[in-house]
Amino acid sequence: MTAPARPILTAEMVARIEALAPRYPNRRALTLPALHIVNAELRHVPLGAVVEIAALLNLAPAEVQDTLSFYEFFHQDQPHGKVRAFVCRSISCALRGGDELLQRVCSSYGIRPYGTTPDGELTIEPAECLGACDFAPCILANDDLLENMTPETAVAELSKPRARAT
């Protein structure tokens, strides 16, 4: 397979992936770390990046794509917003209004669950248990856990600028 004229993976991304290689006895184990490194930069992992990751790890592109598509985590066709907000809908949050929180926050921004605002700032996704049931209902926005949310406090929080996810 020939490399695309304008590679998607930067030299910095490749260096970060290679820096992890000594941790594992084979290169396939770098698949998930590589997907995370690319996703953290591009906010999605386009198919072209999958092909490049596969070449880097001596895998077939289908092997990397198989892993990527198993996890619903990695967007492929479009980047998610600069802020990616996971709204918990599992039982502890649901008992304290998690489903209503998701609906109300989505309608405040005029988007559906999994949607992104037209300005590309915010993506809202339902999530299964975020492991913060002591603060239900909760939202994970990039690296920040938003605790004991109401629709009003959630909209106020999600409209703030926020550091990128690490």
Partner 1 sequence: MELNEPVLLEAVGVPDGHTLASYRARGGYAPLEQTLAGKQPGDVVEMVKASGLRGRGGAGFPTGLKWTFLPKDHPGPIYLCINADESEPGTFNNRILMEDDPHQVIEGIILSSYATRASTAYIYLRYEYPRSWHRLQGAIDEASAAGYLGRNIRGTGFSLDIHLHRGAAAYICGEETGLIESLEGKRAWPRIKPPFPAIEGLFRKPTVVNNIETMACVAQIARRGVDWFRSIGVPSDPANPRDPGSYGPKLYCLSGHVERPGCYEAALGITARQLIDQYGGGVWKGRRAKAVIPGGISMGLMTESELDTPLDFAGPGKVGCLGLGTAAVVVIDETVSIVDFLHNSCRFFAHESCGQCTPCREGTSWSLRIMERIRAGQGRLVDLDLLLEMGNTMGMMPGSTICGLADGAAWPMKNAIRKFRGEFEDYIRRTNPTGWMVTDPVPALAIVGAH
CB of 21 to partner 1, least distance (A): 12
Which helix or strand (DSSP H or E) is residue 153 part of? helix 151-158
| 130 near partner 1, judged by CB under 8 A | yes
CB of 121 to partner 1, least distance (A): 20
Residue 148 region by backbone torsions, left for phi larger than 0, else alpha for psi between -120 and 50, else beta: left
CB of 8 to partner 1, least distance (A): 19
CA distances from 86 to 8, 49, 60, 128, 158 (A): 27, 25, 32, 9, 11
Is the CB of 25 or the CB of 118 nearer to partner 1?
A: 25
| 100 near partner 1, judged by CB under 8 A | no
Nearest Cα to Cα of residue 17 among 43, 41, 46, 44: 41
Q: For partner 1, which residue of 7, 14, 21, 36 counts as binding (CB under 8 A)?
A: 36
Residue with tokens 């929180």: 101
Measured distance CA(136)–CA(150) in Å, rounded:
10
Site for partner 1 in 58-97 (CB under 8 A): 63, 66-67, 70-74, 86, 89-92, 94-96
- Contacting residues toward partner 1, per CB under 8 A: 23-26, 28-33, 35-36, 57, 63, 66-67, 70-74, 86, 89-92, 94-96, 127-136, 140, 143, 145, 165-166
